[in-house]
Amino acid sequence: MIALDTNVLVRYVVADDPEQAQRAAAFIEGAAERGERLYVPHIVLCELVWVLARAYRRKRTEIASVITGLLRASQVVVEEPDIPERALERYLNGSADFADYLIAERSRAAGCTQVATFDEELLKDGAFVRP
């Protein structure tokens, strides 16, 4: 199995560099045809969401569609997929960054009840607490 870096996924999704977009598409789509699986760790999901939101000004719904597509792609293995799935739901309905919700969901999966933060916006969410 080969892991995907954020830049490969960005080229695949955004297609702003025609040559790299074609190579990314051939690699990702070719994996399905070859019966191979590609690994996507949580940190790559965080970076992908950040790049799509900040650099490409994509809306949360568009970003959620991309992440959902990755979670459902037959050739893609996402690290502990139930965790980013829950984080994605919170991201769609909340105001914080995807990474914040992923931190909360990973922490919950590890047995934590809350995440201590100084981020005032996050403190509005019950998953976060003031230190």
In this structure, what token pair is assigned to residue 83?
A: 């965790």
Over the stretch 102-113, which tens digit does the pLDDT of each residue have? Answer: 999 999 999 999
* Predicted structure pTM score: 0.91
Indicate the burial class of 102 (C-beta count within 10 angstroms; 0-12, 13-18, 19 or more).
Answer: buried
CA distances from 86 to 37, 48, 100 (A): 23, 17, 12
* Residue 126 in this model has a pLDDT that exceeds 90: no
